[in-house]
Amino acid sequence: MGAGIDHRSDARKAYRCERNQDTTPATLISIVKGIFNRLLTGLGITGLSGTAGFHKAQATVTIAAAQTSGTADTTTVPQGVVERFVILPGAALTAGAVITVVDSSSPMTVKPTLLSYTVPATPIQERVAPAKRIAVFGALTVSVTGATAADAVTVVAYVNPYPAEGVIPRYGTTSVAQSGTTTAAIDLGDAVLTTIEWPATMTSTTATLQSSIDGTVFQALVDATGSAVPPITVSQGKNTSLADYLPHLYGQRWLKIVCGSSEAALRTIRYGYRPMA
């Protein structure tokens, strides 16, 4: 089995402070900034909140001589909702060149485009709202096309880890080995499992769950009467909502998915989860 997958939500910062496990000034300031930003954003007062408490993800695309395009990923991995971009074009960047930002870590086949910006006649530093206001959990890819001279373009994304919408769903991956039935352990931290995305090639037609309170000893998941939790139907090539299973899943930090039969090949299974905050 592979190593367990460890997930943490930003809400654990406040929990650690409450339990006197992390009361450093930096952590306290981060929490206060986050609460303040969420309050202002929720009231629609985004101008005053600025970018205080936001995470910053930056990428610089270098256009070599005789080249017309370039690509670079952000040097940090943001987690939250992209609220704005700051574009720092080089002086030699051609009017009409296009700067795009794509969520390259998205599990979607067609990656979401967060920004498509056409350089004006006089390149200037500019603040731009994203084309789509979505949650991101990995590196962003910045691309420049239509350049005619050597130059460098820097794009900075400001990501709000405490959006007005509250906690946001996230996703992870686990797998079943060839001829195996059970996935690697999933560590959800303080989150709850909400969705399972089944590969179209799944052999099994049903699956069950095992849970653990320590990440080591896994046992079948049953309800308070000792009755087995009903099996989950494996819908090949579809996403299964676990809304009806939530009463059984709350508080279950470590889980394994157990397929009803041996898989004919390695299966990678994606799952969605939501922090309980």
Q: How far apart are CA 223 and CA 209, in angstroms?
A: 12
| Structure confidence at residue 165 (pLDDT) | 57
Mean pLDDT score across all residues of the chain? 81
Q: Does 204 lie in the same domain as 104?
A: no
pTM: predicted TM-score of the whole model, two decimal places = 0.50
Domain boundary among 112, 127, 160: 160
In a domain, 3, yes or no: no
Identify which has the larger pLDDT, 86 or 2.
Answer: 86
Closest by CA position to 176, among listed 274, 260, 272: 260
Helix H segments across 136-249? Answer: 246-249
Percent of the chain whose pLDDT exceeds 90? 40
Query: Residue range 228-255: average pLDDT?
Result: 91
Residue 112 sits in the same domain as residue 193? no
Residues 184 and 142 grouped into a single domain: no
**Angstrom distance (rounded) from CA 107 to CA 129:** 23
Q: Encode burial over 203-227: b for 16+ CB neighbours within 10 A, e otherwise.
A: bbeebbbbbbeeeeebeebeeeeee
**Does the pLDDT of residue 20 top 70, yes or no?**
no
- Considering the domain architecture, whether residues 156 and 60 belong to the same structural domain is answered as yes
The predicted structure's pLDDT at residue 44: 46
pLDDT in tens, 105-155: 877 777 889 999 998 888 888 889 998 877 787 889 999 999 888 888 999
119 and 220 belong to one structural domain: no
184 has a pLDDT exceeding 60: yes
How confident is the model at residue 31, as a pLDDT? Answer: 60
Residue range of the domain that includes 100: 54-160
Q: Please indicate, yes or no, if residue 29 is contained in any of the structural domains.
A: no
**Do 129 and 204 reside in the same domain of the chain?**
no
Give residue 39's pLDDT: 58
The per-residue pLDDT for 34 is: 61
Confidence band for 237, pLDDT divided at 50, 70 and 90: very high
Of 8, 34, 246, the C-alpha closest to 137 is 8
Tell me: do 124 and 58 sit in the same domain.
yes
In CATH, what number is assigned to the domain containing residue 93? 2.60.120.260
Helical H segments across the chain, by residue range: 11-18, 25-42, 46-49, 246-249
Q: Identify the band that residue 37 occupies on the pLDDT scale cut at 50, 70 and 90.
A: low
Please tell me which of 27-41, 89-103, 248-262 the model is most confident about, judged by mean pLDDT.
Answer: 248-262
More confident residue, 159 or 36: 159
Count of domains forming the chain: 2
pLDDT tens for 48-67 read: 345 556 888 899 999 988 88
What share of the chain has pLDDT > 70, as a percent?
Answer: 77
Residue 72 domain-assigned? yes
Name beta bridge partners: 207: 232, 259
Structure token digits, residue 196: 């399972």
Q: Measured between alpha carbons, how far is 254 from 243 in angstroms, rounded to an integer? A: 18
Q: Is residue 130 part of a domain?
A: yes
